[in-house]
Amino acid sequence: KAGVTQTPRYLIKTRGQQVTLSCSPISGHRSVSWYQQTPGQGLQFLFEYFSETQRNKGNFPGRFSGRQFSNSRSEMNVSTLELGDSALYLCASSLWPRIGAANTGELFFGEGSRLTVL
Amino acid sequence: KQEVTQIPAALSVPEGENLVLNCSFTDSAIYNLQWFRQDPGKGLTSLLLIQSSQREQTSGRLNASLDKSSGRSTLYIAASQPGDSATYLCAASGGSQGNLIFGKGTKLSVKP
């Protein structure tokens, strides 16, 4: 079956612009998590959505936001881009939300969206 | 707060060698630990998932162990091949933190 699909794969923006990234989870998966990966900080958790509700949020400013649709597809948005937002943004899906006892499922990642901010 | 550390940051070995990658975590109250592989510019590929009740998991030439009491996990790669060259990441999951906490990874180079 198809894996996690992220679009676009590459994009270049300038400071001050905004960007929207899309993620389609594995069919049947209802939880979508977003991570930012940079050479200096490694992988950092942004947020998780399950059943169209944000279930968990990492330590990022309010410029980073997301949402999930009824078909489990998710988007994340970054407004007022800064140079430091240049990163690989990774989406991951799992069957269940990653909270409490349900936090035992395997996480599957997409290929990522490479954002460059000039 | 969970912290995950991977040592060494980089490792170079000749083809055919057996090797061990190390991962340590500070909070033993984890639900599971997952090992991933990442090729340059690519996403993460899940290799093995070990639940907190398990001691180890095996897949082909890979074997991962988990020792919660000591806060350690190891990934054993048997008979390494050049195609194994990649960055290997471990991530711990559990407690009130629903998200996976990742280590910085070990960059493995297997030379022919």
Mean pLDDT (whole number) for B42-56: 91
Task: Tell me the per-residue pLDDT of A13-23, one tens digit each, with 9 for 90 and over.
Answer: 999 999 999 99
Q: Do A98 and B93 touch (CB under 8 A)?
A: yes
Of B34, B98, B105, Cβ closest to residue A97 = B98
**Contact residues on chain B for A92, CB-CB shorter than 8 A:** 44
Ramachandran sector of residue B105 (left: φ over 0; alpha: ψ -120 to 50; beta: rest): left
Q: Report whether pLDDT(B72) > 90.
A: yes
Distances (CA, A) of A42 to A23, A26, A45, B62: 20, 24, 10, 24
| pLDDT confidence of residue A92 | 94
State the nearest Cα–Cα gap between A27 and chain B, in angstroms. Answer: 17
| pLDDT confidence of residue A2 | 77
| pLDDT confidence of residue B81 | 97
Of B49, B103, B105, Cβ closest to residue A106 = B49
| pLDDT confidence of residue B95 | 58
Question: Would you state the structure tokens that stand for residue A80, as one six-digit string?
Answer: 């007022």
Task: Tell me the per-residue pLDDT of A26-83, one tens digit each, with 9 for 90 and over.
Answer: 999 999 999 999 998 999 999 999 989 998 899 999 999 999 999 999 999 999 999 9
Q: Report whether pLDDT(B99) > 80.
A: no
Q: Do B99 and A48 touch (CB under 8 A)?
A: yes
Q: Is A115 on the interface with B (CB under 8 A)?
A: no
| pLDDT confidence of residue A95 | 83
Q: Do B32 and A103 touch (CB under 8 A)?
A: yes
| pLDDT confidence of residue B8 | 92
Specify whether the CB–CB gap between B107 and B7 falls below 8 A: no
Q: Do A45 and B89 touch (CB under 8 A)?
A: no
The beta strand positions in chain B, using DSSP E, are 4-7, 10-14, 19-25, 32-38, 44-51, 56-59, 62-67, 72-77, 86-94, 97-102, 106-111
